[in-house]
Amino acid sequence: MLTDPGFSRAAAVAPPAPAVPPLRPDPASPTSLDPPAHSRLRARVNRAFVPQAIAALEDGIPAEARGLLRRGGPRDLVRDYTMPLAAATICRILGVPEAERDRFAALADLGHALVPCTPQESAAARAELREQFGRLIRPARREPGGHLLGALVRAMTRTVR
């Protein structure tokens, strides 16, 4: 199935394709690309995803999980633990500064329609997320750091040269 052109990610996000939610996936997203475009992109960033690079980014996640569990009282497992832990993990791995994490997570939820929203709200959130990524990538180009965006910048720089 992965090599059958009848199963296309790009076709799944094209305007005539049916969508389960009213929000269509972003055609500009790497997850919406088919080979050869997806293959070219993966080849450029593969080094950022080797097990050693990902293991180095995991530091701090267990402490975050314990901190969420310590909040006490009755809790909704998904709303109060799973979603905040996933958001904190993604932000930590990407290198989103602590002060920007709540906004980043809220935009991601809207952009991916994980919370009730209109297509216009989702599109606006995606646009703001792209702007936020631009703000995160600029300093990562100067000082890559130990997060995924820095690793991706390093991988892209090595490939372009």
Encode pLDDT of 88-144 as tens digits: 988 888 888 889 999 999 999 898 888 888 888 988 999 999 899 888 888 888 887
pLDDT at position 10 over 70: yes
Whether residue 106 is contained in a domain is answered as yes
**97-130 CB burial, b ≥16 within 10 A, e <16:** eeeebeebbebbbbbbbeeebeeeebbebbebbe
Write down the pTM of the prediction. 0.68
Q: What is the pLDDT of residues 14-52, one digit of tens each?
A: 776 655 555 666 777 777 888 888 888 888 777 777 787
What does the alpha-carbon distance between residue 70 and residue 129 come to, in Å, rounded to a whole number? Answer: 30
Question: What letter does residue 98 receive in the DSSP assignment?
Answer: G
Whether residue 43 is contained in a domain is answered as no
Which pLDDT belongs to residue 18? 59
Whether residue 3 is contained in a domain is answered as no
Whether residue 31 is contained in a domain is answered as no
CATH of the domain at 93: 1.10.630.10
Which pLDDT belongs to residue 21? 55
| Structural domain span for residue 134 | 51-160
How much of the chain exceeds pLDDT 70, in percent?
A: 81
What does the alpha-carbon distance between residue 155 and residue 34 come to, in Å, rounded to a whole number? Answer: 21
pLDDT at position 160 over 70: no
Whether residue 72 is contained in a domain is answered as yes
**For tokens 């995160």, what's the residue?**
136
Whether residue 21 is contained in a domain is answered as no
Which pLDDT belongs to residue 105? 93
Whether residue 128 is contained in a domain is answered as yes
Could you tell me which residues come within 8 angstroms of residue 66 by beta carbon, excluding any fewer than 6 positions away? none
Provide the 10 A C-beta neighbour count for residue 161.
5
Provide the 10 A C-beta neighbour count for residue 64.
16
Cβ burial, residue 35 (10 Å; 0-12/13-18/19+): middle
Domain count, the chain: 1
Whether residue 139 is contained in a domain is answered as yes
